[in-house]
Amino acid sequence: MRRPIHGHADEDFGPLADAFAANFADHGDTGAACAVYRNGHQVVDLWGGTAGADRPWQSDTPAPVFSVTKALIAISAYVLQERGLLDLDALVADYWPEFAQRGKKAVTIRQALSHRAGLPHLDEDLTVPDVAAWHPVIGAIERQAPLWEPGSAYRYHPLTFGWLIGEPIRRVTGMTPGRFIAAEIAGPLRAEAWLGVPAEHRARIAPLQTALSTTPDRAISLGHVFPDGLFAARGGVNDLVTKPIEVPGGGAAATASALARILAATVGEVDGVRLLGDDSVRDALIVRSEGRDWEGNPANRFSTGFMINGTPWRPLLSDASFGHDGACGQLAFADADANLGFGYVNGTWLAEDVRAERLVLALRKCLG
């Protein structure tokens, strides 16, 4: 069924608009938005479909962005390094002494950002109240032994990533990572992206359209926090974003335009705001983890906190791109060579999902 597409795309970005429309016609989108900022200006702002059963998707409809949250956390870490408050090559325990228990003394901030800390899951069963209280999760991480010698291998840390970096952020700023993002990342750019969605915005969020329940591994479930998975009709992400809870590895919500705006501001000015300097951008493009992971599985290519180009199933614009994808096909990245930020969000989980990939390939065509 064809659905009307709204918004605009500058003349050079027609192929991207066509691909966005084709995602609805041929590839399962029911509600989504796509945005691009280039050279500090918005050149694409597209949306269409529905946000739930009873309302149309709008240009300012936020959606859960899952692991795109990690890009916001990584940006925060780099901002704090530029301010002299956090050293990415320092030990986690330099900022969080209690972390040094059970073989974790030598873990660095960079190793944690690069999924090399050996802590992809926790043995303790946690609950939603534990997550809401923050400190029970921190205590569980302190008591956890790494699965491998930190730094010697990597495996994607789906949710623990957020607290491994979020607690040092809290220790050096006095703010939880969600409050830091609101004050220092999204706030200066007037970007609607939140980790811990304010009450006045929760009703606007597009619910994820799926009733899928799974039996996730401990890296995703956190025990009793998501026992049926993030996509479950009850107890999944739709419930999470209606609570004032920070899950800094995957619990943010944002509009497509907000993501494009924030990522664009890492590589160039957007309305006078530049989040990262050139040295940080160069560092963010250095490969830190790639190839087979600790369990022998193929995985994404990671730099310090970011997914970078080179993963066959998730191409980015170029080797100058860095950002992160998220479950449900969400994607946000910056490209330093093109001075560009890209954001795509949707509300429909698909088993075989090529939507974001098609948009990126169309964006490559737009830029020649």
> pLDDT at residue 140 above 50?
yes
pLDDT tens, residue by residue, 345-363:
999 988 889 999 999 999 9
Of 24, 28, 30, whose CA–CA distance to 352 is shortest? 28
Has residue 278 got a pLDDT over 90? yes
Write out pLDDT tens, residues 151-178.
Answer: 999 999 999 999 999 999 999 999 999 9
Let me know: does 42 contact 191? Beta carbons within 8 Å: no
- Residues 208 and 234: beta-carbon distance below 8 Å: no
- Flag whether the pTM goes above 0.95: yes
Per DSSP, the three-state class of 238 is helix
- For 45-89, the pLDDT digits (tens) are 999 999 987 899 999 999 999 999 999 999 999 999 999 999 999
Sorting pLDDT into bands at 50, 70 and 90, what band is 223? confident
Neighbours of 34 (CB within 10 A): 32
Which backbone phi and psi does 342 adopt, to 5 degrees?
-125, 140
Q: What is the DSSP string of 165-180?
A: HHHHHHHHHSS-HHHH
312 Cβ neighbours under 8 A, 6+ residues apart: none
Provide the 8-state DSSP code for 326. Answer: E
- If we measure between CA atoms, which residue out of 298, 354, 294, 351 comes closest to residue 325? 354
pLDDT for 181 beyond 50? yes
Helix extents (H) in the chain: 14-26, 69-82, 92-95, 109-113, 128-133, 135-143, 160-173, 177-180, 187-189, 218-221, 237-240, 256-267, 278-284, 355-366
- Cβ–Cβ under 8 Å, residues 343 and 256: yes
- Give the dihedral sign, CA 347/348/349/351: negative
Provide the pLDDT for residue 336: 98
- What would the mean pLDDT of 89-115 be, rounded to a whole number? 98
Domain residue extents for the chain? 57-356
* Per-residue pLDDT at 208: 86
Would you say residue 306 has pLDDT above 50? yes
What confidence score (pLDDT) does residue 50 get? Answer: 94
pLDDT at 319 over 70: yes
Report the share of the chain in percent with pLDDT over 90. 83
User: Can you count the helices (H) and strands (E) in the chain?
Assistant: 14, 10
Token reading at 132: 């809401």
Q: Residue 185: is its pLDDT beyond 50?
A: yes
Joined tokens for residue 234: 């009850």
Q: Say if residue 1's pLDDT is above 50.
A: no
Most distant CA pair in the chain: distance in Å?
Answer: 57
Rg (CA), the chain: 19
**Candidates 1.10.10.10, 3.30.428.10, 3.20.20.80, 3.40.710.10; correct CATH number of 57-356?**
3.40.710.10
Cα angle 113, 178, 238 (rounded to 5 degrees) comes to 100
C-alpha span between 276 and 82 (Å, rounded): 8
